[in-house]
Amino acid sequence: MIIFFVGSPLSAIVRAKSDEIGPQAAPKRSTTMALTDTKIRGIKATGSRFDLPDRDGLVLRVSQSGKLSWSLSYRVHGSGSGGGARKTSLAGPKRRLQLGEYPTISLAEARAIASETKRLARSGIDAAAPKLEPSARTVSALFERYRVEHLERNISSGPNVVKLLERHVLSRWADVGLANVNRSEFLALLEEVRTSKEMPVLTPKGRETMQTRGGKGSAAEVRKWTRAMFQFGVEVDLLPSNPLADVRNRDRQTPRDRVLQMEELRQIWSAATALAHPWGHLFKLLMLTGSRRSEWANARVDWLKAESTILEVPAEQYKTRKPQVVPLSTQAQAIVRSLPQGNNGPFLFSTTGGLVPVSGFSKAKTQLDQQITMQKQSLAISWVTHDLRRSMATHMERLGIEPHVIELCLGHKLTGIAATYRHYGYLPEKQVALQRWADELLA
C-alpha cells in the first residue's frame, strides 16, 4: 500500500486526476431481485406484456390484461450439436417450459418445479420432452420410424436393409421395449444369426418357401444396421443413449478375390443357355455388362433407351445416387430384344408377366451349377454371382482398356482429381470397352 501526505506533490497530482475523471461512480447494483409473494400481489396490468425474472431462469410473465404465468428457461446437458462453442456442444439450445398460472402455481411451487427441472437437465433429461405411449418405445416402433425417416429417404439399398432387419431383428424383438434392449441380449441375437439355418421366406408372389439364411456375413450386416437404427433412436429422442454402441464386429469378412478364367466363364455361358427364361438371359446379361444383379433383376422396360441400345438405371435406383448408363454390346442388345413382353407390368425380368421383378437368385444359381455339372464342366473352384463383375474388370484390363473406363463400366465413382475435373460421361469409351469384352467372351 502506498501512502502520501496532504500537500505533497503526489497529492496534488491525484487531486488533479480526480478532477479530470470526475467523482468516482458508486458500484452498480443488480436491478434483478428475487420475487416475493408481496411483490407479486402488488403487480398491476400496464396494457403491455412484460416479464419479471425470479432466479435460475424462472420468470413470471405478466400479460396485457394482468394475467400471471410461470415459465422456465434452461438447457439440457449433452443435447448440443457439437462442433461449436463449449457451451453449445455441452448444453444444446435454450428451451422454455411453461409451468402454469399464478396463483394456481405458487411462488414456492414454481421454484420447486424449476429446481427439479434444472436437476434433470444437468443429468441430460428434458422434462419438457413429450411423454410417449409405451407402444411408441418398442423396437417395432423404432424400426418403423427408421425405415420411413432414414432408409427410404437416404439409403439406396434401403429395401434390402428393411428385409434384413425384419428377418433377423423384428422377428425376435418386435414387441420388446427399447429400455429392455441391452448389450448381452444383442450379442445373443448375433450368435443366433451367425448360424445358417433354413427359414421361411415370402416370394414376391406371396408364396412361402424355405431358404438358407444367416451366417457370418449376415451377422456382420445385422450388427451394422441394428446399431445404426438404435443410434437413430438417440437422435430422435426415443433413447437417452445407444445400448449397442460398443458391440464390435467379430465377423470381418475376407474380401473375395476369385477371378474366373475365360474358359470357366464360357462354361457358365454354355450352362446359362440351357436355363429357362428368365434366368438364362439374366445371367448372360450380367456376364456381358458386369452390372450388379439387382440392376438387371429390377430393370424396367422404360430403362431401355435409344432403341434398346442403352440401359439407363435412374439415380434413385442406383447405389451411387447418380444415373448409371450402360451401353449394350450387339450381343446384349440381341438378348434384350428377344425377351418376352410382359402384359401385367413394367419389369423386364419377371415370372408374373412384368407385375413384380424376378426373385430367387439362390435357387437359380444352384440350378446353374447343376447344369454346369451335367455338362461335365464343373469348375475347379466354387464361385458366386458377384465374381462375374470382378472377372470382367480383370479381363478388360488384360485387353488394354483404361482403368478409369473400367471403373465407369462397373458403375463406380471416380475419386480424387478425376472426380473433381472429369464430368465427361465416357459413353463412347464405355461402348467400345463393353463391345470388346463381349467379343472376347464369345470368341
Instruction: Please give the single-letter amino acid code of residue 222.
Output: V
| pLDDT for residue 56 | 85
Same domain (yes/no): 63, 143: no
Residues 108 and 143 in one domain: no
The answer to whether residue 256 sits within a structural domain is no
Q: Which helix (H) or strand (E) holds 37?
A: helix 37-41
Judge if 71 and 212 occupy the same domain. Answer: no
For the segment 251-262, the average pLDDT, to the nearest whole number, is 79
DSSP secondary structure, 103-147, as one string:
TTS-HHHHHHHHHHHHHHHHTT--TTSPPPPGGGGBHHHHHHHHI
Longest dimension (CA), the chain: 124
Q: What are phi and psi of 46, to 5 degrees?
A: -115, -5
Total count of domains within the chain: 3
Contacts of 365 (CB under 8 A, 6+ apart): 384, 385
pLDDT at 395: 96
Helical (H) or strand (E) element with 192: helix 183-194
* Contacts (Cβ under 8 Å, ≥6 apart) of 247: 183, 186, 187, 190, 223, 227
Q: Where a domain ends, among 63, 97, 122?
A: 122
Which of 167-182 are b and which e, b meaning 16 or more Cβ less than 10 Å from the residue's Cβ?
A: bbbbeebeeeebeebe
Domain span including residue 321: 262-441
Cα–Cα distance, 434 to 293 (Å, whole number): 17
22 belongs to a structural domain: no
Same domain for 296 and 422?
yes
Q: Does residue 161 fall inside a structural domain?
A: yes
Q: Is 7 within a domain?
A: no
CA atoms within 13 Å, Cβ hemisphere of 204: 16
The verdict on 189 and 331 lying in the same domain is: no
Q: Give the tens place of pLDDT for each residue, 200-222.
A: 666 655 666 666 777 888 899 99
What is the average pLDDT across 98-123?
A: 87
* CATH number of the domain within which 428 lies: 1.10.443.10
Residues 260 and 90: their CA atoms lie apart, in Å, by 55
| Residue 392 φ then ψ, to 5° | -60, -45
Whether 360 and 282 share a structural domain: yes
**DSSP for residue 256:** P
Q: Is residue 251 part of a domain?
A: no
With respect to residue 350, please indicate whether it lies within any of the assigned structural domains.
yes
Among 223-227, 340-344, 405-409, the minimum mean pLDDT is found in: 340-344
**Closest-CA residue to 239 (of 169, 179, 170, 186):** 179
The number of CA neighbours under 13 Å toward the Cβ of 226 is: 34
Residues 282 and 345 both lie in one domain? yes
C-alpha cell at 33: 431481485
| Domain identity same for 283 and 397 | yes
pLDDT band at residue 156 using 50, 70 and 90 as cut-offs: confident
Domain boundary among 122, 150, 169: 122
Residue 80 has pLDDT above 60, yes or no: no
- Which of 100-104, 190-194, 313-317, 350-354 shows the lowest per-residue confidence on average (mean pLDDT)? 313-317
pTM here is: 0.55
Q: What's the rounded Cα separation, in Å, for the pair 342 and 141?
A: 38
In what helix (H) or strand (E) does residue 221 lie, and over which residues does it extend? helix 216-235
Question: Are both 92 and 223 inside the same structural domain?
Answer: no
Query: In this structure, is residue 246 part of a structural domain?
Result: no
Query: Where would I find the H helices in 323-426?
Result: 330-338, 361-374, 387-398, 403-409, 416-421
Shared domain check, 300 and 220? no
* 405 plus 428 within the same structural domain: yes
Q: Which of 73, 101, 122 is the last residue of a domain?
A: 122
Both 206 and 163 in one domain: the answer is: yes
* Stated length of the chain: 443
Distances (CA, A) of 48 to 45, 64, 65, 241: 8, 4, 8, 44
